Amino acid sequence: GSQFFIIHGKSTPWLEGKHTVFGNVTEGMDVIDGIMQLSRDSHDKPLEPITYNVEVTN
């Protein structure tokens, strides 16, 4: 399995120097914006699991 982080305009010092940054969202920002509106716990984790199937192309 793989884990991906989609960053939505916030600084992420806990990721710097630990993960490789690559790619960008070219379409579907409405989906990202919708995820950002979901309720979260005190650790910024969404209260309900979020699952999406995506296709990565080059």
What's the average model confidence in pLDDT over 22-48? Answer: 89
Q: Does residue 41 or residue 5 have the better pLDDT?
A: 41
Residue 30 confidence (pLDDT):
92
| Predicted local confidence at residue 37, as pLDDT | 92
pTM reported for the whole predicted model: 0.57
Contact 35, 50 (CB under 8 A): yes
| Domain count for the chain | 1
Helix, strand, or coil here: 50? coil
What pLDDT band is residue 22 in, cutting at 50, 70 and 90?
confident
- Contact between 38 and 45 under an 8 Å Cβ cutoff? The reply is no
Domain of residue 44, residue span = 1-58
pLDDT exceeds cutoff 90 at 15: no
